[in-house]
Structure 1
């Protein structure tokens, strides 16, 4: 009986995963739908602007109060980046002016050598500003200086960029997202070593962060004197061996981006394996908005995180939508269609009233129900600035594909 039950359970999981991977989107989202979401975003971000002090950046909205950050906080680049994305769509000069005001206070972070998050802080903001406005003179040197600051955290011994300044030499999967900053800075005329650092870091992460099933650890701590691995653990996941959801999405997006930046097919192959793990996971909800940790639904009642087993993380879904759209342009045939349909369904679901806030609600943020750090009891079931950023990015990418334009400049 136990064997039959096990076989039945396995068949149910396989059936669910097959239907998830092969089901067509009910309808291809049209331009009018995408434009409506972007128009709503333009209105909503102006509400957020009224709640944001001139010298601060929006971070979240929790318990009825707006929460802001200084420029040195890792999410500081997402708000100006979102403003710039929406300016690119709408040509609304007010959005450009709001972004430029934040860029002015953010500019000093180009000299910050104490964080690995300069890609988030500077490339999402100044990188978009230069791309959209074409003003190389205003932004090129800031980007090159910031990339040099990030490169100071690279060790040729560990062959990775240090994430935090505690423990031995910790490297988190999130760091994959900052590599685009280095590759683009090299193209802007920066030292070629910036590109080499990005490639080396990606290869080291590929080697040490991933398990056989293609889930990834959140943190790998290295011994700085010889580069050996001391410990693999989590900081924001349910437990060390669990699959923290946003970490899986950081990796998916990161290796998709690295294939675009290098043309090395090993990164695309790796990203496809990560995608398979995510999409075939038995705990993936039908609406494709993951739980905060893929193992959270299985937590025993005795677990200190059992109360959070059903918490979703919209920021993970936003990241996935943007990544799967790009992946749909990198592969061919049925797999391309599958990735596009996955992204379509995520965008459609995030744009529903379940996850998308009403105008002037939610503190001015676009999306509800993200999770920052449950182990630290921080930012639980709240809007997050980076969830909005990647949601808007996904909408713009979708629009470009509908308009038969190149998705990424």
Structure 2
């Protein structure tokens, strides 16, 4: 077997940086995609294997001590020099590569989950809505269909690890010969190599593209709610299963209506004479017109409740209520005739004079409390 230092063309005292630079130079020179020489592929594999050993401090130390140290198999003495490090021993007995997953790992992995934020109007929350969302995401490569290889080619067994995905070595210790394993640096633990990667996806089995995702947003959602859409996220490497898509909802502010749970809240301004005499009015609600009866003598901060005209409940069915807070508006600009009529009204009814009384909270505070308790 050729000496690894000779293969890379470096001295035995070379620094890790010098070893890396030598490997990169030779890899660019000997890679089968750029070098058609008959022996280029074999030399490329030898260079890669040499770099895998010399770039790992533990393996390089064992290699420098020679076969008697237990590198790549072999017995011999060596006493304390035979230790490959306590890390290898603990890996073997307490769940390292030797005690964990055996064999090559799959190229196909689950794709990442994705998070999108979608804004909806308050009117759309009442009955739910539909969206066609345009997203940039990872999709399956149509050229190789996730195989990562150029059409007409296929992956081949790694001749360094012979398809196992692992490189094993024997280390002598106080406990005897200990077998440890590490991922093969040539195939990166896959057990296979792709000689001709797909040019469309660069051997990834997936590409970035824009796609449309139809989404049905249920009724009753509220700001901050996250909806999970299984298997609508990104396609995984090598055509692996898709991750999940999460939609985070934001309900846009409405100038008239607000929300309290499943109830809709609003304020209706009533002129003083309508409050005194009573009236019928039509309110343009989010889901159509609502007939509202203002009874004679109604007071500011009273709340009228229209049943089942609120938001559809997210769970359990049915709808909340529409709650209308009354605000009686006192006229501020009266002409001479109107003022005389008001004086006549005042003189016809002996209202008590203004007097001190207990402090009353403001209109909006009253409405808030009554909204909550209505």
Normalised to the residue count of structure 1, the TM-score between the two structures is 0.20
Normalised to the residue count of structure 2, the TM-score between the two structures is 0.22
Q: By percentage of residues, which structure has more helix?
A: 1
Greater C-alpha radius of gyration: 2
> 1 or 2 for the larger relative contact order (CA 8 Å, sep ≥6)?
1
